[in-house]
Amino acid sequence: MSLNAESTAFRSALEVIRAVEPRVADAIGAELADQRESLKLIASENYASPATLLAMGNWFSDKYAEGTVGRRFYAGCQNVDTVEALAAEHAKELFGAAHAYVQPHSGIDANLVAFWAILADRVESPALKKAQVRQVNDLTEADWFALRRELGNQRMLGMSLDAGGHLTHGFRPNISGKMFDQRSYGTDPATGLIDYDRVAEAAREFKPLILVAGYSAYPRKVNFRIMREIADSVGATFMVDMAHFAGLVAGKVFTGDFDPVPHAHIVTTTTHKSLRGPRGGMVLCGPELADQVDRGCPMVLGGPLPHVMAAKAVALAEARRPDFADYAQRIVDNAQALAEGLVRRGTKLVTGGTDNHLVLLDVSGYGLTGRQAEQALLDSGIVTNRNAVPQDPNGAWYTSGIRIGTPALTTRGLGVAEMDATAELIHTVLTQTTPGESKAKYVLDPALADKISKQATELLTGFPLYPAVNLA
C-alpha cells in the first residue's frame, strides 16, 4: 500500500526520533492517539495543519537571527529574512494592519513587546532617549534611576481576571502587575457584561497610560470603537489583546466596531488558538509604533525562532484562503449551539450564552468546584479547563467555573448537532458527580465515566483527526 505525503513525512520523522530516544517517539504517537479519542473543548487549543506542523521541524531551528529583516546581528540570515517577511506580509494582508512583528515566542512575549514599545514611545526622559538610540554605555547611575522610576510608575487599566481578563493585563503575580500601577475594570454583576460607562468612569479617575481590552474567558463581543473613544478621552494608548479571537477577526466574523485592528493603537495575539497556527505570538501596529515594536529583540525577547516563524507564514497563508472564513463562522455557530444545549439542560452560563468561540459554565449549580468538574470531565474523555467566574468565591485555583470552546472540534468538522450531543455528555457527567471532602476531591462512578468516554469517542468517529496521517 502506497502512503500519502503526510503519512510518509510523520512516519519517517518518528523513525528518526525513535532511533535516538524511543520514549519521545512513543510519547508523540500517544499524544496523537489521545487527541484523536477525546473531546477537546479547551478554548485556547486547536489542531494545526500538517503543513504548519512540518514547517517547524527543519533546519531553521539551527539558525540565530537576532534583529529584523535585512538588519541582523548574525550573518547568513537571508532565508530567515524570506520566511519572516512572508509571515509579516500575510499578517498585514489578513488583518489590514500597517505593520506586523512576528517574532514573539508567545502571547505573553507579544504583550511585553507592546508594553515596552508603548512605554518607550510615551515616556519622555533624557535617560530613555539615550536608551532608545542604544547608547546604553552612556547611561549614568542617575539616568538608570530616573529611567526605572519613570517606566515603573506608569498606569494600566485592564479587565480583571475574574471578569475574563488575562493574567498579563496587570494580574499581580505576572510581570505586568509589577511593571505598572494597575487597576482593573470588571463586568456588571447582574449581566456579566462590560459596562462601558463604568470603564469610562474608571479611566477618568485613574488616567492610565495604557487601556487594555481583550480577554481569555469573556464570552461576548467587545465594542472596540467605544473603548478607543474612552482611551482617547484620557489620552491613553489603546491596546487590544486578541489572542483568543484572532481567528474570528481573520475570518471576518468580527467586523466594524468588533474588529480591534482599525481602532487600537497596537494589537497583540497568539498564532494558535482560533487562528489555528503554531504556538507563538505576534504584534500588529501602525507606523508610529513600528520602530519600537521591531526592537522586541533584544529589548525583551531572545533570539527569534525561525522555524516557528516559517510555520506562522504557512498558517497565515492558510487563514487567507476563502474556506477559513467559513471555518471561523462555524466556530461561533458551534459555540452558540453548545451554549443553547447546556442552557436547555439547566446549566448556568456566565452572561447566559456566547457571541464568540467560548462558553463559561458556572458549575456551582451542580454543587461542584471548577477543579472537581474539570477532573470529572477529563475522566470521562472530555478535556476542558477550570476557570474563575465573576466574583468567584473559590478563587483562581479551585474556581467555580469551567471554560469550554469550539475551535478544535470545529476543525475536526463537528457541527451543531454534535454540539448538542456534547452538551448532553457534559451535563450527564456534572449531574452524576458529587463533591468529596475537599474542593479538589469528587466522586464519580468509574463505570459511568467509562461509558461517557466511549460515547465521546463514538461521537468523534465520523470526524477523524488528521485523516491523512496514518502511523500504523
Task: Tell me the CATH number at 249.
Answer: 3.40.640.10
Best CA proximity match to 446, nearest among 375, 389, 384, 387:
375
Instruction: Give the 3-state secondary structure percentages of the chain, helix then strand then coil, rounded to 5.
Output: 50, 15, 35
Answer yes or no: do 96 and 179 share one domain: yes
- Does the annotation mark 64 as catalytic? yes
Given 109, 143, 241, 294, which residue is catalytic?
241
* List 64, 81, 155, 183, catalytic entry: 64
Do residues 330 and 296 share a domain?
no
Q: Is residue 466 part of a domain?
A: no
Decide if 97 contacts 285 (C-beta within 8 A): yes
Q: Which of 45, 66, 81, 424 is catalytic?
A: 66
42 CB neighbour count, 10 Å cutoff: 16
DSSP string for 137-190: GG--HHHHHHHHHHHTT-EEEEE-TTTT--GGGT-TTSHHHHHSEEEEE---TT
Check: CB of residue 308 under 8 Å from CB of residue 56.
yes
For residue 308, tell me if it sits in a domain: yes
pLDDT of residue 353: 97
Note whether residue 291 is domain-resident. Answer: yes
> Could you tell me the residue range of the domain that residue 64 belongs to?
59-319
Can you give the pLDDT at residue 245? Answer: 97
Catalytic annotation, pick one of 270, 354, 369, 422: 270
Which residues lie below 8 Å from residue 427, measured CB to CB, with a gap of 6+? Answer: 342, 345, 346, 347
Question: 312 an active-site residue?
Answer: no
How much is the pLDDT for 450? 97
Q: Provide DSSP, 97-115.
A: -SEEE---SSHHHHHHHHH
- How far, in Å, CA of 94 to CA of 276, rounded? 14
The number of folded domains in the chain is: 2
Give mean pLDDT in consecutive 10-residue pieces for the chain, a chain of 472 residues: 83 95 96 93 96 95 94 94 98 98 96 91 64 56 69 84 82 77 91 96 96 96 98 96 97 98 98 96 96 90 94 98 97 98 97 97 97 97 95 93 97 97 98 95 96 95 93 84
Sheet holding 155-159, edge to edge: 99-101, 281-285, 266-270, 237-241, 210-214, 155-159, 181-185
**Could you tell me which residues are beta bridge partners of residue 358?**
405
Residues 328 and 183 in one domain: no
Per-residue confidence (pLDDT) for residue 269, from 0 to 100: 98
Catalytic residue among 225, 279, 348, 451: 279
Cβ pair 276, 387 in contact under 8 A: no
Beta strands in 65-105 (DSSP E): 67-68, 71-72, 99-101
| 102 lies in some domain | yes
User: Quick one: 100 and 228 in the same domain?
Assistant: yes
Buried b (16+ CB within 10 A) or exposed e, 438-467: ebeebebeeebbeebbebbeebbeebebbe
Residue 142 lies in a domain: yes
Verify that 345 and 296 share a domain, yes or no.
no
Catalytic-residue membership of 270? yes
Whether residue 368 is found in the same domain as residue 261: no
User: 273, 312, 330, 386: which one is catalytic?
Assistant: 273
Residues 155 and 216 occupy one common structural domain: yes
Q: Let me know whether 197 and 150 are in one domain.
A: yes
To the nearest 10°, the Cα dihedral for 262, 249, 383, 459? 170
Question: Would residue 327 count as lying in a domain?
Answer: yes
Among candidate residues 304, 319, 334, the one where a domain is terminated? 319
Q: List the CATH number of the domain containing 392.
A: 3.90.1150.10
Q: Is 276 a catalytic residue?
A: no
Cα–Cα distances (Å) from 253 to 157, 220, 256, 355, in that order, read 27, 13, 10, 10
Residue pair 293/99 in contact (Cβ under 8 Å)? The answer is: yes
Whether 310 and 381 map to the same domain: the answer is: no
Quickly count: other Cβ atoms within 10 Å of residue 123's Cβ: 16
- Of 289, 319, 349, at which residue does a domain stop? 319
pLDDT of the residue at 137: 54
* 407 contacts 46 by C-beta, under 8 angstroms: yes
Stated pTM of the model = 0.92
Residues 100, 174, single domain; the answer is yes
Residues 367 and 257 in one domain: no
**408 with 247: CB under 8 angstroms?**
no
Q: Write down which residue in 272, 304, 319 finishes a domain.
A: 319
Cα–Cα distance, 388 to 402 (Å, whole number): 8
Residue 435 included in any domain: yes
